[in-house]
Structure 1
Amino acid sequence: MDSHTGALAWLAQGAASNLLNRLVDRALDGPAPPPAWPRPVTTPAGTAEITVRHHLAAKARTPVIITLQEDGSRTGTAFPVVLGHTARIALPGGRYFGAAMVVDPARRTLQGIGWSRLTVAARRTSPCLIPVARPSAPVILQLGLRKADGTPLFRI
């Protein structure tokens, strides 16, 4: 698996333990507190403004799960947003990999998946756009988006 799929695979491992359901519920319930970065900040923090772009013009509030990982790290953080909204998160300055999954919780379908690299400058706001596209079956298999019993987390 290449580095582009690391954040999504990391989310998939946690999703089997109902992490995904909790994140989707939190996205639909309203604004959540800003996510906390998992390690202590040793460098001056910057702000990342993350926007997810999808071709769907959804009338309903569509949840998006965003994951962020520092380059070279095997851990990260996941947080929910609503499609069309911008997430703002304080991060230590550095390079990151962000991934987004657009989900339809009612039909349990994955509507879009995408990733992007992000460089956060200390004491500055860094914009990031994550373009998402409809996933294919091989991508779903490569990412390991399956429950512990082997059944898929989503329909395509």
Structure 2
Amino acid sequence: MDPHPGGALAWLAQGAAANLLDRLVDRALDGPPLAPAWPRPGKTAAGTVEITVRHHTAAKIRTPVILTLQEDGSRAGTAFPTLLGHTARLALPVGHYLGAALVVNPRRRTLQGIGWSRLTVVTHRTSPVIIPAQRPSAPVILQLGLRKADGTPLFRL
């Protein structure tokens, strides 16, 4: 993993209220997500990226993951629900992105894992990406700014 995930996780924390996280977790558990629409106009050629999130625990239950993608240089991003170990296949405009993943335990509202990876989307090609998620620590959570607007943490560790 890169030493600093940039703003993808901070973007999620700053813009996400508790109900957004609940909806993303519910959508991940309900089944395969709908094909997301990337916010940028599709005038540039598209490529495909296949993102899989791995975690050191072999979960026997369906574990939701909140996957965020942020284009390099952008202050905004897009969040997608998926499941741990499943592969999300996305068509994106060509460019460089930062993908970040939050592995969530929906029963306890705890953060089980966090990870990020840089990815490049190339014209008319499929790029596989694995995001390794590791157990979060309190200093990392504080550094990333994973807090609600009132300053309370989004998740328990």
**TM-score w.r.t. length of structure 1:** 0.95
**Residue 88 of structure 2 is aligned to residue 87 of structure 1:** yes
Please report how far the alpha carbon of residue 17 of structure 1 lies from its aligned counterpart in structure 2 after TM superposition.
Answer: 5.3
Please report how far the alpha carbon of residue 76 of structure 1 lies from its aligned counterpart in structure 2 after TM superposition.
Answer: 1.4
Residue 74 of structure 2 is matched in structure 1 by 73
Unpaired runs of 5+ in structure 1? none
Percent of counterpart pairs with the same letter? 78
Residue 137 of structure 1 is matched in structure 2 by 138
Residue 58 of structure 2 is matched in structure 1 by 57
Tell me, what secondary structure is at the counterpart of 1:91? strand
Tell me, what secondary structure is at the counterpart of 1:27? helix
**Residue 9 of structure 2 is aligned to residue 8 of structure 1:** yes
Matched letter for residue 69 of structure 2: L
How many Å separate the matches in 2 of 1:105 and 1:143?
A: 21
Tell me, what secondary structure is at the counterpart of 1:75? coil
Matched letter for residue 103 of structure 1: V
Please report how far the alpha carbon of residue 14 of structure 1 lies from its aligned counterpart in structure 2 after TM superposition.
Answer: 2.1
Residue 151 of structure 2 is matched in structure 1 by 150
CA contact (8 A) 1:14 1:20 kept: no
Tell me, what secondary structure is at the counterpart of 2:139? helix
Q: Give the aligned CA root-mean-square deviation in angstroms.
A: 1.3
How many Å separate the matches in 2 of 1:142 and 1:16?
A: 19
Residue 155 to residue 17, structure 1, CA distance change in 2 (3 Å): closer
Which deviates further from its counterpart, 112-121 or 14-23?
14-23
Residue 40 of structure 2 is matched in structure 1 by 39
Please report how far the alpha carbon of residue 142 of structure 1 lies from its aligned counterpart in structure 2 after TM superposition.
Answer: 1.3
Aligned residues: 155
Matched letter for residue 140 of structure 2: V
Residue 126 of structure 2 is matched in structure 1 by 125
Which deviates further from its counterpart, 56-65 or 143-152?
143-152
Matched letter for residue 28 of structure 1: L
Residue 48 of structure 1 is matched in structure 2 by 49
CA contact (8 A) 2:18 2:154 kept: no
How many Å separate the matches in 2 of 1:76 and 1:149?
A: 22
Matched letter for residue 71 of structure 2: E
- Deviation string 1:24-56 (CA, Å, 9 cap, x unpaired) is 010001112111111101211011000001001
